[in-house]
């Protein structure tokens, strides 16, 4: 650390400790997202006062101070700088303002995913940066991310779309070790997975929480047709005494699913199957025969193709049951379109829609399309015997 830099003084905003929360709230409201605080210096404490380090050149500071004076006792004072070990930036944009020229700020990724010790980022707005500067730009962003998120050891860049039967995408290593296996915690459950060899989307955490928080009958029999490493099945079984048959065609996902069942202490039972679920409806499938018209609830988290598997769902569902269907549909009528698609697919396969229990946009999938979740109560119209 540079001692001269340490000994220099700068401006701090001195307020009573008791006003700390109120100050932060006012700052968020009035500074309109532009930080007035210097993230490279520490907040100081003096008896019953807090001293917040001010940015000298913040354009919103004078007006904010006027408003603050009306709300609480405050004073701008000079103190010796105490620098933070790690800058306390709130956002990537805030951190990068000090590194990049203004036009480059528009090229920053809007978000990134953290899965255990791995960050996955997409540079989808980089076309305005000169090709010779792109690698430097990516490295600067990546270095910051590693510094900000202490437990992160690897940063991958998305290098293509999610594709193929196993729903995987290519990832390029940007920084750290090329180690794609990680342990991730979501909604109180642990998941071991490999981000290159298995599908996993941390942005579905709220959807999984929603599904796991629904009411379930005791001993319900559930099928998770596209279980992956098990995030839906395991979160449901963590909270409910149910039995879930969890299928996946990807042998690596199936292997992690088995490990994840062991990693979590579950109220219910998850039975893993490595199978193409289309095989369940073949005459020779003894498992298919055993589950035929026995299932209370079916999860269909394969949004691009779930409708193609409605034959399997209608084969398995009881006389009346529930399905959780996911589809990708175009705006502006994405939800209505998904419901219409579902109705048609059900009728084609010997079922009918009894009631829509819930329908919602889970997230924007692309500039034109949404990921839709539909919870539907359905009836089988096929007569047994
Ligand atoms: C979109 S991922 C969802 C995984 C999991 N539900 C989750 O939330 O992470 C779909 C999964 O379905 C599996 N899959 C695709 N076709 C299948 C099939 N015919 N039978 C069984 N699994 C299949 C893929 O391997 C993939 O793991």
Q: Which of 64-73, 166-175, 248-257 has the lowest mean pLDDT?
A: 64-73
In a domain, 194, yes or no: no
For 323-333, write each residue's pLDDT tens digit: 999 999 999 99
Query: What ligand 1 atom has the least distance to the C-alpha of 276?
Result: 20
Report the CATH number at residue 107.
3.30.300.110
Q: Say whether pLDDT at 16 is over 70.
A: yes
Q: Say whether pLDDT at 102 is over 80.
A: no
Question: What is residue 34's predicted lDDT score, i.e. its pLDDT?
Answer: 59
In a domain, 221, yes or no: yes
Q: Which of 83-87, 258-262, 317-321, 371-375 has the lowest mean pLDDT?
A: 83-87
Q: What is the mean pLDDT of residues 191-215?
A: 97
Question: What is residue 2's predicted lDDT score, i.e. its pLDDT?
Answer: 43
Q: By the 8 A CB rule, do 147 and 198 touch?
A: no
Candidate of 228, 275, 313, 315 to mutate for ligand 1, largest count of ligand atoms within 8 Å of Cβ: 228
- The residue whose C-alpha atom lies closest to atom 25 belonging to ligand 1 is 166
> Do 75 and 98 belong to one domain?
no
Beta bridge partners of 83: 41
Residue that the structure tokens 């907040």 belong to: 43
State the distance from the centre of ligand 1 to the C-alpha of 108, rounded, in angstroms: 31
Q: Say whether pLDDT at 385 is over 60.
A: no
> Do 100 and 33 belong to one domain?
no
DSSP-based three-state secondary structure for 227? coil
Q: Say whether pLDDT at 204 is over 50.
A: yes
DSSP-based three-state secondary structure for 2? coil
Q: By the 8 A CB rule, do 261 and 272 touch?
A: yes
Omega of the bond leading into 374 within 30 degrees of 0 (cis): no
Report the CATH number at residue 64.
3.30.70.2580
In a domain, 104, yes or no: yes
> Do 291 and 238 belong to one domain?
yes
Please report how many Cα atoms fall inside a 13 Å half-sphere around the Cα of residue 376, on the Cβ side. Answer: 27
Question: What is residue 32's predicted lDDT score, i.e. its pLDDT?
Answer: 58
> Do 320 and 241 belong to one domain?
yes
- The residue whose C-alpha atom lies closest to atom 4 belonging to ligand 1 is 228
> Do 97 and 68 belong to one domain?
no
Radius of gyration (C-alpha) of the chain in whole angstroms: 26
Question: What is residue 60's predicted lDDT score, i.e. its pLDDT?
Answer: 82
Residue that the structure tokens 């997409």 belong to: 122
In a domain, 186, yes or no: no
Q: Which residues does a 6 A CB cutoff place in the pocket of ligand 1? A: 165-167, 199-200, 204, 226-228, 231-232, 247-250, 253, 276-278, 301-302
State the distance from the centre of ligand 1 to the C-alpha of 219, rounded, in angstroms: 24
Spatial separation of the C-alpha atoms in residues 324 and 336, rounded to whole Å: 16
Helix (H) or strand (E) holding 213: none
Highest mean pLDDT among 57-66, 91-100, 156-165: 156-165
For 294-314, write each residue's pLDDT tens digit: 999 999 999 999 999 999 999
- The residue whose C-alpha atom lies closest to atom 11 belonging to ligand 1 is 226
> Do 167 and 216 belong to one domain?
no
Confidence grade of residue 3 (pLDDT, cut at 50, 70, 90)? very low
Q: How many distinct structural domains can be found in the chain?
A: 3
Q: Which domain range does residue 344 map to?
A: 201-380
Q: By the 8 A CB rule, do 222 and 236 touch?
A: yes
State the distance from the centre of ligand 1 to the C-alpha of 228, rounded, in angstroms: 5
For 21-39, write each residue's pLDDT tens digit: 888 888 877 765 556 888 7
What is the dihedral angle through the alpha carbons of 47, 48, 54, 58, rounded to the nearest 10 degrees? -170
Spatial separation of the C-alpha atoms in residues 191 and 8, rounded to whole Å: 48
In a domain, 87, yes or no: no
State the distance from the centre of ligand 1 to the C-alpha of 276, rounded, in angstroms: 9
Candidate of 186, 302, 305, 372 to mutate for ligand 1, largest count of ligand atoms within 8 Å of Cβ: 302
In a domain, 322, yes or no: yes
Question: What is residue 89's predicted lDDT score, i.e. its pLDDT?
Answer: 62
Q: By the 8 A CB rule, do 94 and 55 touch?
A: no
φ and ψ of 198, to 5 deg: -135, 155
Spatial separation of the C-alpha atoms in residues 365 and 341, rounded to whole Å: 18
Confidence grade of residue 200 (pLDDT, cut at 50, 70, 90)? very high
> Do 21 and 100 belong to one domain?
no
Query: What ligand 1 atom has the least distance to the C-alpha of 253?
Result: 27
Domain boundary among 21, 51, 80: 80
pTM for the complete prediction? 0.80
Q: Tokens in use for 266?
A: 């579950």
For 104-145, write each residue's pLDDT tens digit: 788 888 889 999 999 999 998 888 888 988 998 899 889 888
Q: By the 8 A CB rule, do 90 and 28 touch?
A: no
Question: What is residue 98's predicted lDDT score, i.e. its pLDDT?
Answer: 64
- The residue whose C-alpha atom lies closest to atom 9 belonging to ligand 1 is 200
Question: What is residue 1's predicted lDDT score, i.e. its pLDDT?
Answer: 40
Q: What is the mean pLDDT of residues 185-204?
A: 97
Domain boundary among 37, 57, 80: 80
> Do 73 and 103 belong to one domain?
no
> Which residue, among 264, 327, 180, has the nearest Cα to 272 in the 3D structure?
264
State the distance from the centre of ligand 1 to the C-alpha of 157, rounded, in angstroms: 22
Residue that the structure tokens 């289309």 belong to: 278
Spatial separation of the C-alpha atoms in residues 205 and 188, rounded to whole Å: 11
DSSP-based three-state secondary structure for 208? helix
State the distance from the centre of ligand 1 to the C-alpha of 253, rounded, in angstroms: 9
Domain boundary among 146, 179, 212: 179
> Do 361 and 218 belong to one domain?
yes
> Do 264 and 165 belong to one domain?
no
Q: Tokens in use for 369?
A: 């399309």
Say if residue 384 is exposed, middle or buried (CB neighbours under 10 Å; 0-12, 13-18, 19+): exposed
> Do 75 and 134 belong to one domain?
no
Q: Which of 57-61, 225-229, 366-370, 378-382 has the lowest mean pLDDT?
A: 57-61
> Do 247 and 367 belong to one domain?
yes
């Amino acid at each position: 650390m540079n001692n001269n830099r340490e000994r220099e003084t700068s401006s701090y905003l001195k307020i009573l400790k008791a006003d700390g929360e109120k100050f932060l709230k006012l700052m968020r409201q009035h500074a309109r997202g532009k930080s007035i605080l210097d993230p490279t210096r520490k907040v100081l404490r003096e008896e019953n006062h807090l001293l917040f380090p001010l940015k000298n050149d913040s354009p919103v500071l004078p007006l904010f101070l006027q408003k603050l004076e009306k709300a609480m006792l405050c004073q701008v004072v000079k103190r010796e700088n105490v620098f933070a070990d790690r800058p306390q930036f709130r956002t990537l944009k805030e951190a990068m303002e000090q590194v990049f020229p203004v036009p480059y700020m528009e090229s920053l990724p809007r978000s990134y995913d953290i899965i255990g010790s791995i960050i996955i980022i997409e540079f989808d707005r980089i076309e305005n940066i000169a090709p010779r500067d792109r690698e430097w730009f990516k490295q600067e962003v990546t270095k910051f991310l590693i510094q900000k998120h202490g437990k992160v050891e690897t940063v991958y860049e998305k290098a293509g779309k999610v594709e193929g039967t196993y729903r995987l995408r290519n990832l390029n290593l940007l920084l750290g070790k090329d180690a794609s296996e990680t342990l991730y915690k979501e909604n109180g459950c642990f998941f071991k997975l490999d981000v290159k060899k298995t599908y996993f989307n941390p942005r579905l955490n709220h959807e999984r929480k929603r599904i796991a928080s629904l009411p379930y009958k005791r001993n319900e029999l559930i099928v998770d047709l596209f279980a992956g490493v098990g995030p839906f099945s395991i979160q449901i079984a963590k909270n409910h005494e149910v039995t879930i048959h969890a299928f996946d065609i990807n042998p690596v996902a199936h292997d992690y699913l088995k490990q994840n069942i062991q990693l979590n202490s579950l109220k219910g039972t998850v039975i893993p199957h490595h199978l193409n679920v289309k095989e369940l409806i073949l005459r020779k499938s003894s498992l298919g025969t055993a589950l035929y018209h026995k299932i209370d609830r079916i999860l269909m988290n394969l949004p691009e193709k779930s409708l193609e598997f409605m034959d399997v769902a209608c084969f398995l569902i009881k006389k009346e049951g529930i399905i959780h269907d996911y589809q990708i549909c175009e705006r502006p009528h994405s939800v209505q379109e998904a419901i219409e698609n579902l109705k048609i697919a059900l009728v084609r396969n010997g079922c009918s829609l009894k009631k829509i229990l819930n329908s919602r946009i889970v997230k924007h999938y692309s500039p034109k399309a949404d990921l839709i979740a539909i919870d539907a109560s359905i009836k089988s119209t096929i007569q047994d015997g």
